[in-house]
Amino acid sequence: MLFPTKTTASVGAKVHFRALTSKTATAYWSNQYNCKVTSFSPDSFVVCLEEDGKLKKFLTSEGLIGWTWLGESYNKYFEEVKSE
């Protein structure tokens, strides 16, 4: 999920809703924080725009921008590509 701010991302990361679908979880957090929380596809390409510990600000290939929390267990889902 992509949260609009670091604060909402860090608070949202503390509660896990594994049983909820992505659509249900984004609706819940959007309502909870009165903001737009989005999600991106696992097939998306993302660019990390900013990092603050485990919080990362992404730009997705769908044009979405937001903050998410990534623990080390998620590293296996990302491939880092560096330009020359």
What's the pLDDT score for residue 19?
Answer: 46
Tens of pLDDT, residue by residue over 7-64, are 888 877 666 545 456 677 788 888 888 888 888 887 888 999 999 988 999 999 999 9
For residue 3, the tally of other CB atoms under 10 A from its CB is: 26
Coil/strand/helix, residue 23: helix
Longest dimension (CA), the chain: 42
Residue 65: band (very low, low, confident or very high) from pLDDT cuts 50, 70, 90? very high
Backbone angles phi, psi at 80, to 5 degrees: -85, 130
Q: How much is the pTM?
A: 0.77
